[in-house]
Amino acid sequence: MRVLILILIICNYLNANSQSLGGNAVFSFLQQSNTPQLSALGGYNISTITNDVGMTFNNPALLRKEMHHQLSASFNNFLAGIKNYSLITAFYIPNQSATAALGINYFNYGSITQTDASGNIIGSFTPSDYVIQFSLSKQHKENWWYGSTLKFVNSAYGNYKSNAIALDLALNYVDSSKFFQAAIVVKNLGSQLKKYSLQSNKEELPFDVQIGITKRLPKAPLQFSLTAHHLHIANILYNDTLYNQQEGDDSYKRKNYTAEKILSHLVLSAEVLLSKQFQFSLGYNFLRRHDLNTYNSANGLNGINVGLSIKMKQFQFNYATGFYQRNMYNQIALNFNLSSQKK
């Protein structure tokens, strides 16, 4: 408890003058899911009880000794032709009693036509983003794990290029006898190293504070998770009053929507353990549903994500999809246990 309070105090101090939210921070791709299991759980989950090394990309405190030589490779055929590739592997360091992981998450946005100020086509360019990170986790006493992740972040949009260094800090509590797990993660502490333009000021990174809990039912093949994100900002709802007024939506006039503000921080998820080989996941992201349900464009399935995991002898197959109004994405991953294959 003392460690948890200390982390919260540090977060409040470091972010007192830095409360960035969507559109006000660079490298927003850092908030995208790198693995199908995370996507299926709503895009935010730091506490799920799993042996998927891909989940440690967002919470290094989930790294375990048993993940030694596990490799996860993920591909996401995202919206509008965007491609996302992710790779992470873990290894145990005996003399340090620690587990480490090395990973990369890469986004390719396809070829985009380049024009001059008059609209004349002068060529094309291929924008991209990626993050390379190194994570380390150690156990403290019987029920605690703590971890950190060091990131190098890079973006290239034609002639505009930028990079940064960032740090994640994480704490994980496990009570195996009660099938309970909780975690807190402070994400993207850091600064730009290179700005997009020499004339511009340094921009903020997508800082985030997340807390999550997961409970598995002892006598039923179910486990549930509740994750809260962006806890350092009271109101994370985006409200473009001018756009709403032009579209004839008068909901922007509302002032008393405390419940909606609270729910926008939450992501609910459930996992059905159908057998030792099959697992079904379902996630509901309140903020995503709010943002996608623009006036006259609502979809009853917005904010819902689903996934399936199939565990085989040598590897595990994961799949996830989600609903973005009339569009869906397809994300797959293969997890290999290289230690088992060597045997």
Beta 180-194 vs 208-216: how paired, if at all? Answer: antiparallel
Give the pLDDT of residue 161: 94
Whether 36 contacts 308, CB under 8 Å: no
Q: pLDDT tens for residues 99-140?
A: 999 999 999 999 888 888 888 888 888 999 999 999 999 999
DSSP 68-90: TTEEEEEEEE-GGG-EEEEEEEE
pLDDT in tens, the chain (343 residues): 444 444 544 544 444 444 444 456 899 999 999 999 999 999 999 999 998 999 999 999 999 999 999 999 999 988 778 899 999 999 999 999 999 999 999 999 998 888 888 888 888 889 999 999 999 999 999 999 999 999 999 999 988 999 999 999 999 999 999 999 999 999 999 999 999 988 888 899 999 999 999 999 998 999 999 999 999 999 888 766 666 666 666 655 565 578 888 999 999 999 999 988 999 999 999 998 888 876 566 667 888 999 999 998 788 999 999 887 777 889 999 999 987 554 4
Which residues are 144's β-sheet partners? 140, 173
- Nearby residues of 16 by Cβ (< 8 Å), 6 or more positions away: none
Give the pLDDT of residue 55: 96
- Nearby residues of 222 by Cβ (< 8 Å), 6 or more positions away: 216, 270, 271, 272, 273
Q: Which of 182, 168, 170 is nearest to 146 (CA)?
A: 170
Whether 29 contacts 75, CB under 8 Å: no
Whether 88 contacts 53, CB under 8 Å: yes
DSSP 139-207: EETTTEEEEEEEEEEEEEETTEEEEEEEEEEEEEEEEGGGTEEEEEEEEEEEEEEE-SSTTSPP-----
Q: Which of 230, 175, 211, 173 is nearest to 1 (CA)?
A: 173
Q: Residue for token digits 């996941």?
A: 281
Whether 190 contacts 201, CB under 8 Å: no
**315 is written with which tokens?**
């590897």
Query: From CA 257, how far away is CA 327, in angstroms rounded?
Result: 29
Q: Please state, as a whole number, how many other Cβ atoms lie within 10 Å of the Cβ of residue 192.
A: 20
pTM of the model: 0.87
Query: From CA 23, how far away is CA 28, in angstroms rounded?
Result: 8
Q: How far apart are the first and last CA of the chain?
A: 42
